[in-house]
Each structure stands twice: as C-alpha cells, then as structure tokens.
C-alpha cells in the first residue's frame, strides 16, 4: 500500500512539474499583452475617422467617405475584422457613392459596450448597435452591405425595417442554419472550456493569426506582412480578444435566420468566393433559394473576403447590380 501511495505521489509530482514547465514555456513565448488603445488608434485611424460614443457606452470608430451627394452604402465587416476590409472598395466606389463603414464593438478601434457581458454580442445586440449608428448618422435609407456576421445583422435588420433598406448585398454571410455535417471551428470547441477561454484571451501566437488570415483570404498570394500585422494588432487592441471570445460563444447560440428572411423581397446581391472555407458556397445557393429576388455572383480561386482580394471586379459587379436593379 505504501509503495502504491508513493507511486501515485511520484506521478502527481511529475505531472505538476510538467505543467509548471509548460506554463513557464507558454508565459515566456506565447502570452501576449494587450496593446494600448491610443497607440493602436494612432496607427489605424485616418483623416476620415470619427469616434462617437453611443448610449450603451461603446465608442464607435466610423468613417464617412466618398461622394456626400451620392446614394448611401453602409458597409459592415465580419467577425474578427475591422472597417479596413472596405478600404479598396471605398477607393473604387467613392466617386459615385457615399460610403459609411464602422467597427463593431470590441473590434477594430471601437470599444466594448458598457455592460461587457455575453448577451451584448449576440445577433439582437449587434442589430441594435447598427440601429444606434444609423440613428446617430441620420441615415434614413441605405443599401446595406454585410460581410460574414455583418451579413447576418443586415438580414436581421431589414426584416424589421424594410422601409429603410433600398437593397441588400451579402458577402460570405453568416446567419443560416449550419449543417450538422459541417465541422465546428476549432476555436468554438475550445471556448466551451473555461480554462481554454482564459488561455485564448492571452495566448496569441503571431503565426496562428497569419495562418488564419491566409485561410480567410484563400491563398498566401493575397496576404502580406502588413495585412497580417493589421489583423494581429487590432486583435490585441485593449480588450478586443475578450470580446472575440464572448461573441464566438454567442454566434452559435443565435436563432438561424432561414425562416425569418423568407419574407424578404428587396433587391439582393450575393457575392461569394468559391473557395470560401469559412462560409461555404452552398450557403450562398441556399440564400438564393430563400430570397427569391437574390442574384449570386461567385469568383473562382477566391476565399472568404472577395471585396479585398478582387476590389475592381467585385466593385464593378456591385455597381452593375445597383444601376440595373436599385437606382435605375
């Protein structure tokens, strides 16, 4: 019995020592501190950046660019991204349209909401955030353009506010019921465990971000160091990582929009990369079958962010859609 107890203690001690070694290794090489918000804002804001504070306590990074007399296009980025994904479109479309883009709370340069709990990052809360931004900007009617989670917000908003939306443009949009055959992202599986959520809040290897960006863009050919640095530094901006984890958990608890959007009859354009590993092309085809007015344009060899990879081509397709079906 004594030998057995000593053996158990030995194994326990060895395990504890291993954990301490691993902890030391992680803390020395992988734990990354948050970056000061002011430092990141100085680097990633420009002369068009505005910072306004909503009633919910979030200070929103907004850009109002392009032709002030043009039709209004509201650009909403996806999860883990920022308004910077629209910069190439702004350059292509700015002579004709007024382009309003903003960062979601805890993304880019926008701060979290005052009550930084999980429910403030679900689809309903994000939709209310959009309402607050549009009200502050005095935008009564616009074309809503949503990418990824921004697409889900756009669909959710237009069902309740059909008179305020002239048309809908969805790019690699989330929001539909996910097939059981689709494997859940690894990070979602990890966030189910409290200790892993805590670790993800602080352990952020640069190479992991680089690989994630390459996966999103579809090819290493579309990615450079400047792009990866931007994603990485904006993620490290103050408490953004904490918000990411909260929103990931909420995203997969939101009620799918399949039945809700069946009532839509707005002119709708679906823009999709055929190599999208984040939101498969099959979801674009499903959206086309649900929204009877929807038209699908897809691009070979392109991943989840076609507007940043093929700005001229996608902007031209958008312009053709707007000219033929919305502003004719």
pLDDT tens sequence across 246-263: 898 888 789 999 999 998
Beta strands in 16-88 (DSSP E): 49-53, 59-66, 72-76
pTM for the complete prediction? 0.89
pLDDT for res 191 = 55
pLDDT for res 328 = 81
For 37-326, give the CATH class.
alpha beta
Alpha-carbon gap, residue 285 to 289, rounded angstroms:
6
pLDDT for res 190 = 52
Q: Which residues pair with 220 in a beta bridge?
A: none
pLDDT for res 180 = 78
pLDDT for res 31 = 79
Alpha-carbon gap, residue 91 to 88, rounded angstroms:
5
How would you class 279 by CB atoms within 10 Å of its CB: exposed for 0-12, middle for 13-18, buried for 19 or more?
buried
Q: Is the dihedral of CA 123, 271, 102, 37 positive or negative?
A: positive
- pLDDT tens for residues 184-228? 555 455 555 565 566 667 788 899 899 999 999 999 999 999 999
Hey, where are the domains in the chain? 37-326
Containing 316, the helix (H) or strand (E) segment is helix 311-321
pLDDT in tens, the chain (328 residues): 444 334 433 433 444 334 333 443 444 456 789 999 999 999 999 999 999 999 999 999 999 999 999 999 999 999 999 999 999 999 999 999 999 999 999 999 999 999 888 788 999 999 999 999 999 999 999 999 999 999 999 999 999 999 999 999 999 999 999 887 786 555 455 555 565 566 667 788 899 899 999 999 999 999 999 999 999 999 999 999 999 988 988 887 899 999 999 989 999 999 999 999 999 999 999 999 999 899 999 999 999 999 999 999 999 999 999 999 999 8
Q: CA distances (Å), 229 to each of 225, 264, 278, in order?
A: 6, 39, 21
Question: Cβ contacts of residue 251 below 8 Å, gap of 6+?
Answer: 79, 122, 123, 149, 174
pLDDT for res 251 = 83
pLDDT for res 185 = 56
Q: Is the dihedral of CA 152, 158, 164, 168 positive or negative?
A: positive
pLDDT for res 30 = 65
Alpha-carbon gap, residue 70 to 67, rounded angstroms:
5
């Amino acid at each position: 019995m004594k030998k057995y107890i000593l053996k158990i203690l030995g194994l326990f001690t060895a395990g504890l020592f291993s954990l301490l070694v691993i902890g030391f290794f992680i803390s020395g090489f992988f734990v990354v501190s948050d970056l000061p918000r002011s430092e990141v804002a100085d680097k990633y804001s420009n002369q068009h950046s505005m910072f306004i504070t909503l009633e919910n306590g979030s200070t929103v990074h907004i850009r109002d660019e392009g032709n002030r007399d043009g039709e209004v296009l509201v650009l909403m980025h996806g999860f883990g991204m920022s308004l910077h994904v629209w910069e190439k479109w702004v350059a292509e479309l700015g002579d004709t349209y007024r382009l309003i883009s903003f960062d979601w709370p805890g993304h880019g340069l926008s701060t979290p909401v005052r009550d930084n709990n999980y429910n403030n990052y679900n689809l309903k809360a994000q939709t209310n955030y959009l309402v607050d931004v549009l009200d502050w900007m005095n935008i009564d009617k616009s074309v809503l353009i949503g990418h990824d989670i921004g697409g889900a917000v756009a669909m959710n908003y237009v069902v309740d506010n059909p008179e305020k939306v002239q048309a809908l443009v969805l790019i690699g949009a989330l929001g539909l019921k996910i097939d059981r055959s689709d494997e859940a992202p690894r990070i979602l599986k990890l966030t189910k465990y409290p200790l892993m959520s805590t670790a993800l809040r602080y352990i952020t290897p640069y190479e992991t971000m680089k690989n994630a960006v390459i996966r999103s863009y579809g090819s290493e050919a579309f990615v450079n160091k400047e792009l990866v640095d931007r994603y990485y530094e904006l993620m490290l901006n103050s408490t953004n990582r904490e918000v990411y984890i909260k929103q990931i958990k909420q995203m997969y608890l939101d009620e799918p929009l399949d039945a809700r959007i069946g009532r839509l009859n707005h002119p709708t354009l679906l823009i999709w990369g055929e190599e999208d590993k984040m939101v498969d092309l099959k979801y674009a085809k499903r959206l086309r079958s649900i929204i009877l007015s929807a038209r699908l344009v897809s691009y070979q060899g392109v991943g989840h962010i076609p507007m940043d990879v093929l700005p001229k081509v996608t902007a031209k397709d958008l312009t053709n859609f707007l000219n033929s079906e919305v502003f004719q």
